[in-house]
Amino acid sequence: MASKTERTFVAIKPDGVQRGLMGEIVKRFEQKGFRLVAMKFLQASEDLLKQHYIDLKDLPFYAGLVKYMSSGPVLAMVWEGANVVKTGRVMLGETNPADSKPGTIRGDLCIDIGRNLIHGSDSVDSANKEINLWFKPEEMVSFKCCAHEYIYE
């Protein structure tokens, strides 16, 4: 494999769940060639979300974000692959859907920044922190995908 395999944390937010877009979003990551190694569907507690978004705590939208994210179920996932953090962020599009290009998840599927469907780790370090916050090590599945040789050189 040309690049180092890494993991990223991706969460489909309550708007994505309510709009029935979970399958479409999972499909895009699978079609890209990334491997799903953990997934859970849950109602996230405010405490978990406060920890998750701790770096935003001093921003004016923090309280509203935590409240919104705890308003309905989310689909939390860990994806694995070469450059999955950077590539995953490109697949998501810009935080503001109005700035997102067609072909991205946000560019194709949403309009408003406050309902931008999905969270994705922005660095390998934050991915590791987020994965450890949302998942226990025993909740991760490690396996060799039979399509690996058809995805990577």
**Binding site per annotation, positions for ATP:** 13, 61, 89, 95, 106, 116
Residue 131: burial class (beta carbons within 10 Å; 0-12, 13-18, 19+) = buried
Annotated binding site, which residues? Answer: 13, 61, 89, 95, 106, 116
In the set 7, 28, 52, 119, the catalytic residue is 119
Give 40's DSSP letter: E
**Catalytic site includes residue 148:** no
Nearest to 34 by CA among 91, 73, 76: 91
Q: How far apart are CA 35 and CA 33, in angstroms?
A: 7
User: Which residues participate in catalysis according to the annotation?
Assistant: 119
